[in-house]
Amino acid sequence: MTPTQVPTAPRRSSGVRPAAGQFRGRQLVESLPQALVKLDPRHQVRTPVMFVVWVGSVMTTVLAAVHPSVFAWAIAVWLWATVVFANLAEAVAEGRGKAQAATLRRARTQTMARRLLADGTEETVPGTVLAVGDRVVVESGEVIPSDGDVVEGVASVDESAVTGESAPVIRESGGDRSAVTGGTRVLSDRIVVRITARPGETFLDRMIALVEGSARQKTPNEIALSLLLASLTLVFLLAVVTLQPFAVYSGQAQPIVVLVALLVCLIPTTIGALLSAIGIAGMDRLVQRNVLALSGRAVEAAGDVDVLLLDKTGTITLGNRRAVDLVPAPGVSAEDLAEAAQLSSLADETPEGRSVVVLAKEQYGLREPGDLPHATFVPFSAQTRMSGVDLELPDGTRMVRKGAAAAVLAWVRDAGGTAQPETAAVVDAISGSGGTPLVVAELRPGQRAHVLGVVHLKDVVKHGMRERFDELRRMGIRTVMITGDNRLTAQAIADEAGVDGVLAEATPEDKLALIRSEQEGGRLVAMTGDGTNDAPALAQADVGVAMNSGTAAAKEAGNMVDLDSDPTKLIEIVAIGKQLLITRGALTTFSIANDVAKYFAIIPAMFAGLFPQLDRLNVMALHSPQSAVLSAVIFNALIIVALVPVALRGVRYSPADAGTMLRRNLLVYGVGGLVAPFLGIKLIDLLVALLPGM
């Protein structure tokens, strides 16, 4: 298993929205003005850790102005730098969303709508006055004015403004592909849309608010972590404030500047500075994968998911069944069967029919015959449950039929033939294995009808699914396949795909009940859905990902929307959720581990004058007490900038069980956090020592 920067973004077919994948140094410079604006104390007070640094910066600046020295000014400057760097991290994270929002805004430009009146006439009104329930007409070339459901007609729609995907999609009335999004463009035909969103609350509006971060609220875990960081800050504040009486007792009061420097170095500024950037970047990573999380809570919940409910069709299997085998009847050659199967499927445009032709070509080298002038095709119908072809031969008509076993066998009997018992056995075996048997029979002039053999149709599991499920299992996530198939078929596919459970003959009520029972057991459930009847289950699930192609009801019920309508993406969403939490934990651990080295820099520097023996703690052999304190402060500020890319990208993450992940991350961020500042502070000290007055 190779550790990857997971999950990799799907390749985008068009660059309508900026690909904000990489972090570039230039973004830091570009965001600087924004970072300076955030120095406003009303903004700072929202992050207690950084507010303490802000207050410290003000204090040291005043003190440096009253009693100027190189040291005092250097500390003041670097404390301000610490605050600015923290703001910068947040500004960069927000900036990436802002760029995306700007392009989205362009799509939201004022459109005129053709509103249908009760008497069937149209009036032209601005898109912003449309109310829920209004019906509007949109024709080719026009922009859909607001979110709605198609109630009349079918059209191809260019949704690239929202999804970034340039290939047009079909939207039609009824069914699960009826939802259209305001700001997208109709390419052909005419549709009537019933508006489902109030002005200002359309999908596009919400999306802009989300990517901009203006609608961002702290998530539960983020709040918990902030509380812990605030209390750590309090502890250190106490430790530093009470240090002064102890220092006075010991005979040497400490300069306030040094105490402030000590405090800032001890409080968890690294994670405090990066916490909100991590949250914004997590949402942003989803947006880059064309998933909109309508609440930050859902992103976190994704990391906690214990059970994934996956629809069979389209997620686990390719959309349709395919012919995988031909089983000839006794006395019939495989080639004869293949030829007949191919003939009977030529007119069958269903994916199943095409797959029979493909199989005959690939396994038996049968080319598709050219025009068959004497052929009459018999299309499939629900009554006959078979299809076929009648070929006019010189000596009469050759009839070939292919279809459901019972129907074809009845046809054979009617035509005076008999079926061998072997055929029934093959049919049963295929059914038993979860496949679908199609019987092929023919009637040649002057002969009795007879069965040629059986075509084995099968659901084909998507490539690589088994590996992904194995990976999920290692991460402790169970997968349950949802299908309308009967139990036998469902179980066969489930075994092949390697899912942990299966819900066969599933009704929407069954889905909802399954989710509830899993939640009763304390497990978090994620699912995808697109139909209106999925809405209750989507709402009940802890993570409900609605397909953008789905109905408005589904999108309303879920807490995420996948603009690509790719149900497999649920797995990536889980990975992003986990990565978000891991990034927070890793940087917190790193931040706290850093303190050990800072003590070794600052404490001897503060008190070696008083107790010379404390200089033995100066294990880094720092140049002077002042250079030691300054170096620690500089390290503390620079480490924020150094970790901005980690905060924005997220830490490296490869699926593994919790024990392995803990070991790995503790090693990198715990032990790394212990060691790194020893090296960093020493290096900075070598430079700082060159300053005059140090």
Residue 429 is a binding residue for other proteins (CB under 8 A): no
Q: Which residues within the stretch 584-603 sit at the binding site for other proteins (CB under 8 A)?
A: 584-586, 588-589, 592, 595-596, 599, 603
- Stretch in the footprint of other proteins (CB under 8 A) among 324-332, 463-471, 556-564, 666-674: 666-674
CB closer to other proteins out of 203 and 590 = 590
Judged by CB under 8 A, the residue of 112, 228, 425, 679 near other proteins is 228
Identify the burial level of 528 via C-beta atoms within 10 angstroms of its C-beta, where 0-12 means exposed, 13-18 middle and 19 or more buried: buried
604 φ, ψ (degrees, to nearest 5): -60, -35
CB of 100 vs other proteins, minimal distance in Å: 26
Q: What is the largest CA-CA distance in the chain?
A: 122
Sign of CA dihedral 273, 279, 282, 286: negative
Q: Which residues within the stretch 91-120 sit at the binding site for other proteins (CB under 8 A)?
A: none
CB closer to other proteins out of 365 and 522 = 522
Sign of CA dihedral 288, 290, 292, 296: negative
Task: State the Cα angle at 682 between 681 and 684, rounded to 5°.
Answer: 65
Residue 436 is a binding residue for other proteins (CB under 8 A): no
Residue 247 is a binding residue for other proteins (CB under 8 A): yes
Quick one: angle between helices 625-649 and 256-266, nearest 10? 30
Residue 248 is a binding residue for other proteins (CB under 8 A): yes
296 SS3 class: helix
CB closer to other proteins out of 240 and 647 = 240
CB of 587 vs other proteins, minimal distance in Å: 9
# of chain residues touching other proteins (CB under 8 A): 74
Q: Which residues within the stretch 249-288 sit at the binding site for other proteins (CB under 8 A)?
A: 249-250, 262, 266
Instruction: Note the residue count of the chain.
Output: 694
Residue 240 is a binding residue for other proteins (CB under 8 A): yes
The rounded Cα 691 to chain-centroid distance in angstroms is 49
Residue 223 is a binding residue for other proteins (CB under 8 A): yes
Instruction: Answer whether 627's CB lies under 8 Å from 687's CB.
Output: no
542 SS3 class: coil
Judged by CB under 8 A, the residue of 151, 617, 675, 689 near other proteins is 617
**What residues contact 648, with CB distance under 8 A and at least 6 apart?**
23, 89, 92, 93, 96, 277, 281, 284
Judged by CB under 8 A, the residue of 616, 621, 690, 692 near other proteins is 616
- Stretch in the footprint of other proteins (CB under 8 A) among 52-60, 102-110, 239-247, 361-369: 239-247
List the beta bridge partners of residue 558: none
Judged by CB under 8 A, the residue of 238, 406, 619, 686 near other proteins is 238
Residue 609 is a binding residue for other proteins (CB under 8 A): no
Work out the number of other CB atoms within 10 angstroms of the CB of residue 394.
Answer: 6
DSSP E strands in 45-177: the ranges are 112-116, 122-126, 135-139, 148-152, 154-158, 169-172
CB of 671 vs other proteins, minimal distance in Å: 10
For residue 693, give both structure tokens: 């007055």
CB closer to other proteins out of 404 and 666 = 666
Judged by CB under 8 A, the residue of 43, 354, 444, 474 near other proteins is 474
CB closer to other proteins out of 80 and 653 = 653
Residue 502 is a binding residue for other proteins (CB under 8 A): no
CB closer to other proteins out of 329 and 597 = 597
For residues 14 to 43, the per-residue mask of contacts with other proteins, x marking binding by CB under 8 A and - elsewhere, is ------------------------------
Residue 1 is a binding residue for other proteins (CB under 8 A): no
Cβ-count burial 117-147 (b if 16+ within 10 Å, e if not):
eeeeeeeeeebeebeeebbbbbeeebbbbbb
Instruction: Answer whether 170's CB lies under 8 Å from 159's CB.
Output: no
247 SS3 class: helix
Residue 245 is a binding residue for other proteins (CB under 8 A): yes
CB of 556 vs other proteins, minimal distance in Å: 26
CB closer to other proteins out of 398 and 584 = 584
Residue 581 is a binding residue for other proteins (CB under 8 A): yes
Task: State the Cα angle at 218 between 80 and 543, rounded to 5°.
Answer: 145
Judged by CB under 8 A, the residue of 164, 182, 388, 577 near other proteins is 577
CB closer to other proteins out of 291 and 563 = 291
Judged by CB under 8 A, the residue of 152, 304, 335, 422 near other proteins is 304
Residue 477 is a binding residue for other proteins (CB under 8 A): yes
Residue 243 is a binding residue for other proteins (CB under 8 A): yes
- Stretch in the footprint of other proteins (CB under 8 A) among 40-48, 76-84, 149-157, 229-237: 229-237
Work out the number of other CB atoms within 10 angstroms of the CB of residue 362.
Answer: 9
Identify the burial level of 335 via C-beta atoms within 10 angstroms of its C-beta, where 0-12 means exposed, 13-18 middle and 19 or more buried: middle
Residue 579 is a binding residue for other proteins (CB under 8 A): yes
For residues 520 to 539, the per-residue mask of contacts with other proteins, x marking binding by CB under 8 A and - elsewhere, is xxxx----------------
166 φ, ψ (degrees, to nearest 5): -80, -20
- Stretch in the footprint of other proteins (CB under 8 A) among 22-30, 204-212, 417-425, 614-622: 614-622
Give me the active site residues, please: 311
CB closer to other proteins out of 194 and 289 = 289
- Stretch in the footprint of other proteins (CB under 8 A) among 381-389, 474-482, 551-559, 676-684: 474-482
d(CA 26, CA 37): 19
Query: 317-328 and 450-461 as β-strands: parallel, antiparallel, unpaired?
Result: antiparallel
Quick one: angle between helices 421-432 and 405-414, nearest 10? 170
Q: Which residues within the stretch 628-657 sit at the binding site for other proteins (CB under 8 A)?
A: 653, 657
CB closer to other proteins out of 300 and 685 = 300
Query: 525-529 and 307-311 as β-strands: parallel, antiparallel, unpaired?
Result: parallel
Work out the number of other CB atoms within 10 angstroms of the CB of residue 1.
Answer: 9
CB closer to other proteins out of 141 and 522 = 522
